[in-house]
Amino acid sequence: MDGPPEDRGVNFRALEEVFRLREERKGEMRYTLSLSMLEVYNETIRDLLAGGGKGKGGGEGSKLDIRMGEDGGYEVQGLRLVEVDSLEELWKLMESGKRNRAVGAHDMNEHSSRSHSIVSVRVRGESLQGDRSLATVSKLHLIDLAGSERLSKVGREERREGR
């Protein structure tokens, strides 16, 4: 999803396009962008932007729950939402969140993810022409599923209780 600097993955390319469009439309619209990152690890939701150290999944104090919002949609209460002004600022935050993600090593990939992660970017747009009371809010969710390498190929043994 991320890719190396010389061949950026889907996350970077998609977010680069969001910032390109914001720049292209700056005479017509004002866009405010905000980022959140979470992981689902061992059936626990953790805020990756809350800190907690490398591979700790955001720390023990950042366990979150999904609740139904007032609008009938679902939200992760207490999830940190950080406003970002540039692609560089967003990328630094994403790198910080990535360091907090739970990982494990095996023969095929030294840093295989052991959690699902969701990078969400909220884009709030306000018209600079005509009726300024009109605003739109959109969300882009970039989802990276946990590694699904076959156990026989990765050098890990499957452990089952009672054996």
**Which two three-digit tokens encode residue 9?**
């993955």
Per residue in 47-74, pLDDT (tens digit) is 999 865 444 444 444 578 888 888 888 8
Distance CA 62, CA 19 (A): 29
Q: What is the pLDDT of residue 42?
A: 84
pLDDT over 90, % of the chain: 37
Q: What is the pLDDT of residue 132?
A: 65
Q: pTM of the prediction?
A: 0.74
Per residue in 17-52, pLDDT (tens digit) is 999 999 999 989 999 999 999 999 888 899 999 865
Distance CA 130, CA 105 (A): 55
Q: What are phi and psi of 49, to 5 degrees?
A: -95, 0
Distance CA 125, CA 120 (A): 16
Q: What is the pLDDT of residue 101?
A: 80
Mean pLDDT of the chain: 78
